[in-house]
Amino acid sequence: MTLLTLLDFGAVLIFALTGALVASRAQLDLVGFAFVACLTAVGGGTVRDLLLNRDPVFWIGAPSYILLATAAAIVVFFTAHLVESRYRWLLWLDSFALSIAVAAGAGVAMQLDQPPVIVALMGVTTGCMGGLMRDVVVGEVPLVLKHGELYATAALAGALTAQVVATAGAGSYAALPAGAAVCWALRAGSLAFGWSLPAYKSRPPRH
């Protein structure tokens, strides 16, 4: 099993858990759990593969990804009531899933010899789109758009780190973990310490 496959499986599993936790907060039935979990798990990778014209899309070529996401949804359906702070768990699990998915997306683009800007965009797309779909479907404000949090910025930094490390001559086994680490460090810092970028503040026009 290649590193990219391992990263995809890791991102699918953890994103599926976050999707199922969101479904539990929305009090959906088991089918709803499975749908939201699978949408979250494969959404970002699907958009990535379609944009890169990668045939087949990763989960169509290996349906075990969908089976893994469905199994995760079933587990959460029967155990979510045991978790005290589901939203806190959601945030931290999502941070891990984001970091792994960013590395996977950047890695796929690098494997296809895409230019650096596409590598960065595919990392961000793979990391952010699944969670964005999840939150929109259940009617929550997407984490990627929440005010005062590093999310897409963390994803972009992680993808760029992977590209820089790879360009410096390191192999994917060094570049992709480095990208994931930077992404997670920034996202975790935002969650734990409130790290954020300055937000736009409107000012009255000058006369």
Averages of pLDDT over runs of 10 residues in the chain (207 residues) are 93 97 95 98 98 96 97 97 88 97 97 96 98 95 86 97 94 94 97 89 71
What is d(CA 114, CA 112) in angstroms, rounded to the nearest whole number?
6
Q: Which residue type does 3 have?
A: L
| Region class of 139: left (phi > 0), else alpha (psi between -120 and 50), else beta | left
In this structure, are residues 186 and 157 in contact, taking their beta carbons and an 8 Å threshold? yes
What is d(CA 57, CA 80) in angstroms, rounded to the nearest whole number?
31
**pLDDT computed for residue 207 by the predictor:** 58
In this structure, are residues 150 and 59 in contact, taking their beta carbons and an 8 Å threshold? no
What is d(CA 160, CA 144) in angstroms, rounded to the nearest whole number?
18
What is d(CA 97, CA 71) in angstroms, rounded to the nearest whole number?
17
In this structure, are residues 86 and 92 in contact, taking their beta carbons and an 8 Å threshold? no
Number of C-beta neighbours around residue 145 at 10 A: 13
Would you call 51 helix, strand, or coil by DSSP? helix
In this structure, are residues 143 and 149 in contact, taking their beta carbons and an 8 Å threshold? yes
In this structure, are residues 132 and 142 in contact, taking their beta carbons and an 8 Å threshold? yes
**pLDDT computed for residue 200 by the predictor:** 78
